[in-house]
């Protein structure tokens, strides 16, 4: 039951009404124009081109969204054009399509933007190679590109009105997560609240630094936002100090942080004088002192030059050009295995589709490519969710196709489902499939009209594609999935070892980057374990067994951060040799996890008193890896044959 519930779990993801309206307009306007002008086929191509502007929009700063959506739109248009060139050549078409999809999948391992763009490219290669159109050969890809540009233009309308709204929202979210952590201090929610706060702070820093690095000249609004982000750091330090004390705090602390967040998000003057008095009356003197110290930054009267109290924000890291990435990129064993598995799935899909003469057989490789993409969650879970969602989607499609006579019902259905698409893609893949499939079927149906039994054939295609993904691309490789979890744990431990080894010697600007890297790797580990919980028992048991280790790793990261940030001003940091001693212990644990070897039973001790908290957290991690049956206790020898990786 827990496994089934994990497949049906809905991620909390609010979507604004404007995003839903924009999606409905991007798909609905071309479809309505085609219905009025009796040009349904051309309008369907424009609407298909606008789909990437919806599925490729991951939010965030407008420039990043423009790059992501623009790359996705370009990938879709180019894929459709190359697909039309491949159409009509029998087995050569299938071979060319497979080669293009594999090349796109290789490029898709560069980064997240490449992953989304190349997925759209691969999808539209398959569609373009399989559909026929009465339009001139060059026109379909032009219409697809025009639809993508239309969707991109709708997305970027907000840029004209308020170009730094996403950056302001990111800083405001950091204050809100601080408020949530104040409310959680002294309760069982503190670990989750701190995790969310660290993630929000990292996102805000990355967002503001990237915007400042792109600015063509001085921007007063961006400078004020950067100052407000700098002010967030002393407040978070005060929050962490109160969290270490562990007592339940009055609600005034959270209320003050939420009021600051509202003012930041609405671009209003913070005016924290009243909030400082409120905090002192509530007995929150450390937070009141921190807020008084950052008041010059909040109201814009801060020092013109950086100081020890207000260090300058680090410069944004320059982007690596694509040509440099292409020249230096070497696919590793994980990438090669992924391409081999995907290639085998595509060959099996083409073979099954032709052997059983499936109608519109392009749906089978199309669904294989979408389901097998590893960047978007568990392949096993998505295969099952795709089947379940397709049952609902086919039911919607069949009902509309059976009842529609004038095209009005199809138009209304497409508009309504398009409005739900941005919401569904962030909630659950099965829900996303249930909404996307009817949109695709109704749009493609305008290019190749058919009766409602075609909808039932799509259900067969989805089941066949999911079966191929599981039987060819997943089940034979399950032990590799299990090993990947071990490697993710080892990588997280190694990252914390590097963090401990360097954070005390780094300046204030570099500390934030080191801290962000450490918590980002822990976030990657949590995502990998969450995906593993929905896998078959061989993998899910492994993921479940690693959860206590992930919690212990979070405590190590928190202890290192707290120690590094709370050192008194006059106290020198621990010596590099003392830090290397604890870092070596972490590195040895990572090697033990990688090699499946026992973890040492020697208790971890602090080389100096300043590292006592970090050493205690590392000792807790060692005990967790060793297992409760083998935890060493004072005066009692530990057993000699523990197995740290037996689950």
What digits encode the pLDDT tens for the residues 111-151? 777 888 888 898 888 888 877 777 777 888 899 899 999 99
What per-residue confidence (pLDDT) applies to 319?
Answer: 64
- Output 441 or 636, whichever has higher pLDDT: 441
Confidence of residue 395 (pLDDT cuts 50, 70, 90): confident
What per-residue confidence (pLDDT) applies to 630?
Answer: 35
**Rounded average pLDDT over 231-253:** 80
**Rounded average pLDDT over 40-57:** 87
Contacts of 44 (CB under 8 A, 6+ apart): 30, 31, 34, 443, 444, 446, 447
Report how far apart, in Å, the C-alpha atoms of 24 and of each of 126, 151, 575, 580 are: 25, 10, 60, 57
Residue 493: pLDDT above 50?
yes
How much is the mean pLDDT over the chain?
82
What per-residue confidence (pLDDT) applies to 1?
Answer: 58
What per-residue confidence (pLDDT) applies to 374?
Answer: 63
What radius of gyration do the chain's Cα atoms show? 27
Contacts of 626 (CB under 8 A, 6+ apart): 598, 599, 601, 632, 642, 644
Residue 217: pLDDT above 70?
no
- Output 546 or 395, whichever has higher pLDDT: 546
- Output 23 or 12, whichever has higher pLDDT: 23
- Output 550 or 402, whichever has higher pLDDT: 550
Residue 176: pLDDT above 80?
yes
- Residue 86 and residue 622: Cα distance in Å, rounded? 57
pLDDT above 90: percentage of residues in the chain: 20
Residue 489: pLDDT above 90?
yes
**Rounded average pLDDT over 570-591:** 91
What per-residue confidence (pLDDT) applies to 643?
Answer: 36
pLDDT in tens, 314-355: 665 666 666 666 666 677 787 888 889 889 999 999 899 888
**Model's pTM, two decimal places?**
0.78
**Rounded average pLDDT over 548-571:** 87
Q: What share of the chain is helix, strand, coil (3-state, %, to 5)?
A: 75, 0, 25
pLDDT in tens, 278-328: 888 888 888 888 888 888 888 765 543 444 444 555 665 666 666 666 666
- Output 472 or 567, whichever has higher pLDDT: 472
**Rounded average pLDDT over 443-466:** 75
Domain parsing of the chain, residue ranges: 2-159+377-450, 180-185+206-298, 477-630
Report how far apart, in Å, the C-alpha atoms of 638 and of each of 136, 274, 634 are: 78, 58, 10
- Residue 69 and residue 67: Cα distance in Å, rounded? 6
Straight-line distance from the first to the last Cα atom of the chain, in angstroms, rounded to the nearest whole number: 21
What per-residue confidence (pLDDT) applies to 30?
Answer: 94
Q: Which of 484-493, 527-536, 628-637 has the highest mean pLDDT?
A: 484-493
CB 503 within 8 A of CB 564: yes
Report how far apart, in Å, the C-alpha atoms of 81 and of each of 18, 140, 147 are: 32, 8, 14
Residue 579: pLDDT above 90?
yes
Residue 223: pLDDT above 60?
yes
**Rounded average pLDDT over 522-536:** 86
Which of 384-388, 464-468, 628-632 shows the lowest per-residue confidence on average (mean pLDDT)?
Answer: 628-632
What per-residue confidence (pLDDT) applies to 189?
Answer: 86
Confidence of residue 468 (pLDDT cuts 50, 70, 90): very high
- Output 63 or 544, whichever has higher pLDDT: 544
Residue 619: pLDDT above 90?
yes
- Residue 458 and residue 353: Cα distance in Å, rounded? 12
**Rounded average pLDDT over 169-194:** 88
């Amino acid at each position: 039951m827990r496994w089934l519930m994990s497949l049906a779990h809905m991620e909390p993801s609010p979507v604004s009404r404007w995003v839903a309206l924009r999606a409905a307009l991007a798909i609905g306007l071309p479809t309505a124009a085609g219905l009025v002008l009796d040009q349904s086929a051309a309008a369907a191509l424009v609407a298909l081109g606008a789909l990437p502007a919806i599925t490729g929009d991951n939010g965030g700063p407008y420039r990043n969204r423009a790059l992501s959506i623009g790359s996705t739109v370009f990938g879709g248009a180019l894929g459709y054009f190359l697909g039309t060139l491949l159409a009509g050549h029998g087995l050569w078409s299938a071979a060319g399509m497979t080669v293009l999809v594999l090349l796109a999948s290789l490029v898709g391992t560069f980064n997240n933007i490449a992953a989304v763009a190349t997925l759209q490219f691969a999808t539209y290669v398959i569609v373009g190679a399989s559909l026929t159109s009465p339009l001139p050969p060059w026109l379909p890809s032009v219409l697809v590109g025009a639809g993508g540009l239309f969707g991109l233009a709708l997305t970027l309308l907000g840029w004209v009105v308020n170009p730094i709204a996403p950056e302001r929202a990111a800083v405001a979210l950091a204050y809100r997560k601080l408020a949530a952590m104040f409310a959680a201090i002294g309760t069982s929610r503190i670990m989750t609240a701190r995790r969310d706060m660290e993630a929000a702070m990292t996102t805000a820093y990355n967002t503001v630094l990237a915007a400042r690095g792109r600015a063509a000249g001085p921007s007063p609004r961006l400078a004020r936002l950067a100052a407000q982000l700098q002010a967030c750091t002393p407040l978070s330090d005060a929050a962490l100090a109160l969290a270490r004390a562990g007592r339940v705090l009055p609600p005034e602390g959270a209320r003050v942080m939420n009021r600051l967040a509202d003012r930041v998000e609405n671009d209003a003057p913070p005016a924290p004088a009243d909030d400082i008095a409120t905090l002192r009356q509530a007995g929150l003197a450390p937070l009141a002192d921190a807020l008084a110290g950052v008041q010059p930054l909040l109201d814009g009267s801060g020092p013109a030059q950086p100081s020890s109290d207000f260090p300058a924000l680090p410069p944004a890291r320059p982007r690596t050009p694509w040509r440099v990435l292409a020249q230096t990129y070497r696919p590793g064993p994980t990438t090669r295995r992924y391409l081999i598995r995907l290639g085998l799935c595509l060959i099996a899909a083409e073979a099954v589709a032709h052997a059983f003469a499936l109608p519109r057989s392009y749906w089978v490789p199309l669904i294989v490519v979408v389901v097998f993409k590893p960047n978007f969650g568990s392949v096993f879970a998505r295969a099952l969710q795709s089947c379940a969602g397709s049952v609902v989607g086919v039911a919607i499609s069949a009902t509309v196709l059976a009842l529609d006579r004038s095209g009005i019902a199809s138009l209304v259905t497409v508009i309504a489902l398009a409005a739900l698409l941005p919401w569904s893609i962030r909630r659950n893949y099965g829900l996303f499939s249930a909404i996307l499939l009817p949109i695709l079927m109704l749009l493609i149906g305008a290019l190749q009209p058919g009766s409602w039994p075609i909808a039932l054939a799509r259900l067969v295609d989805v089941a066949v594609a999911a079966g191929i993904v599981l039987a060819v691309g997943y089940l034979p490789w399950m032990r590799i999935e299990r090993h990947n979890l071990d490697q993710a744990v080892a990588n997280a431990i190694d990252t914390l070892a590097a963090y401990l080894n360097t954070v005390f010697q780094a300046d204030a600007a570099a500390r934030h980057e080191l801290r962000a890297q450490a918590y980002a790797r822990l976030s990657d580990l949590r995502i990998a374990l969450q995906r593993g919980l929905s896998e078959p028992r061989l993998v899910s048991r492994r993921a479940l067994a690693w959860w206590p280790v992930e919690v212990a790793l979070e405590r190590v990261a928190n202890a290192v951060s707290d120690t590094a940030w709370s050192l008194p001003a006059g106290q020198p940091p621990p010596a590099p040799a003392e830090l290397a001693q604890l870092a070596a212990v972490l590195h040895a644990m990572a090697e033990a996890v990688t090699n499946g070897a026992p973890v040492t039973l020697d208790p971890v001790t602090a080389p100096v008193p300043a590292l006592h908290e970090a050493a205690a957290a590392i000792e807790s991690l060692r005990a967790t890896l060793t297992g409760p049956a083998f935890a060493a206790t004072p005066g009692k020898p530990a057993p000699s044959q523990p197995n740290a990786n037996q689950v």
